[in-house]
A and B are shown apart, each in its own frame.
Chain A
Amino acid sequence: MEMTERAPGGRLAFMGRMAAGLSHEIRNLEAVLREKAGLIEDLFMMGEQAGSADVARIRSLTKEFQEDLNRVEAVTRDLSFLAHLPEKGSTDVGGEDLLAFALHRSQRTARSRGIRIETQVEDRDVRLPAAPIDALAAIVSLLESTAATAERESSVRFIWQETPGEDRMALRIEGLSKGAMEPAAIEAFGPDTALEWAPDGRSLTLSWKGEGAGPPVESEE
């Protein structure tokens, strides 16, 4: 399966878009950390002038600092995951890893619309519908579309599963706005992926053959 023909702009454009988003996030976190460091300095300076500092506020800021650093670590982990993905074969990466990455990337839009996105893995041996980088592009597209189209203040669940009795793997999405999903997000999964909407139009299942993806992507070097 060749995702280059399916993903708008191809793999390189996808990698570039993801890297730009991640670097934007790092810059934002850097700005937050700088302001918090500045605020700690302000509070110390004012404390020196007044004879006593607001210790409780300084303590809470240093705690927040640790949490922000954990977020920086999570973003850099995503960046590293993305950078090494083209080298990986379909058996080297779990579906849950792809879903976790896509979830982080769509969280900003989802949060702004009050949408809670949960992920669930019923089958840890899920085989991907394409080489990992291509599968990731499709899953990111799906989650971004969901974050943009699901009803405000709703909950959406993404579930990896094996279709019982059949040699097919599936990604089921529950809690969608009725029938709402941008066609491009589904097309990114390619022609070998079967689609099935639930009668109420709020749940969509994407499934593909269990033998999974093609060979790992060859390096372009």
Chain B
Amino acid sequence: MDAPKVLLVDDMKEYSETLAERLRLRDVQAEVASDGREAIERIGEREFDMVILDVVMPEMDGFEVLRQIRATHPHLPVLMLTGKEFSIPKAIQSMDLGAMDYLSKPVPLETLLKKIGEARKRKAALEGIPHG
């Protein structure tokens, strides 16, 4: 099985780059994007198994980015991360928009690795379904 490909989207680059470095040490191909626009461009250019998306970003927030991803990549698993207090309405909003989960930072690396594994299975299963 080839290495999972993950895109980390966060305007706090220090966070996403450090997390990406830790994931790479565990054989995950992790890339970073510092805003929604860059993320959408990257997703259009290459295939990812999962997107880890910060909710609070200037200009285009995580919900708007998620909406745009869903329009072009309906099966791409997206995990929403927030630096704010966990909020049930925001979690529901994320799920309604098609996110696989909504978690508060900092997330233990083991949890993230587990989510990456789940995302790959989920994506493979969804892409196996013939389009109606």
Q: How far is the CB of B36 from chain A (nearest CB, A)?
A: 10
Residues in chain B near residue A108, CB distance under 8 A: 11, 58
Cβ-defined contact, A36 with B18, below 8 A: yes
With a cutoff of 8 Å between Cβ atoms, the chain B residues found around residue A27 in the complex are 83-84, 105
Q: In the complex, what distance in Å separates the CA atom of A46 from the CA atom of B19?
A: 16
Q: Does B64 contact A (CB under 8 A)?
A: no
Say yes or no: is A109 at the interface (Cβ < 8 Å to chain B): yes
Interface residues of A in 100-120 (CB under 8 A from B): 108-109, 112-113
Is A77 an interface residue, CB under 8 A from the partner?
no
Least CB distance, A20 to chain B, in whole angstroms = 8
B22 part of interface (Cβ distance < 8 Å): yes
The reply on B45 being an interface residue by CB < 8 A is: no
A30 contacts the other chain (Cβ, under 8 Å)?
A: yes
Tell yes or no: A211 within 8 A of B by CB. Answer: no
Beta-carbon contact of B21 and A31 below 8 Å: no
Whether, in the assembled complex, A42 has its beta carbon less than 8 Å from a beta carbon of chain B, the answer is yes
A34 at the binding interface (Cβ < 8 Å): yes
Contact assessment for B106 and A34 in the assembled complex, using a CB-CB cutoff below 8 Å: yes
Indicate if the CB atoms of A112 and B15 lie closer than 8 Å.
no
Rounded to whole angstroms, the CA-CA distance of A35 and B107 in the bound complex is: 9
Q: Known A31-B83, A46-B25; judge A39-B106 contact (CB<8 A).
A: no
| Inter-chain contact A42/B105, CB cutoff 8 Å | no
Against A, the Cβ 8 Å flags (1 = close, 0 = not) of B97-117 are 000000001100100000000
The 8 Å CB contact of B58, one of A31, A35, A68, A109, is A109
19 A-B pairs (CB sep. < 8 Å) = A24-B56, A27-B105, A28-B105, A31-B15, A31-B83, A31-B105, A32-B15, A32-B18, A34-B106, A35-B18, A35-B106, A36-B18, A38-B22, A38-B109, A39-B18, A42-B22, A46-B25, A64-B14, A109-B59
Minimum-distance CB pairs A-B, first 4: A31-B106, A31-B105, A112-B58, A35-B18
Given contact pairs A28-B105, A46-B25, A68-B14, enumerate 5 new A-B contacts (beta carbons under 8 Å).
Answer: A28-B12, A35-B22, A39-B22, A113-B58, A113-B59
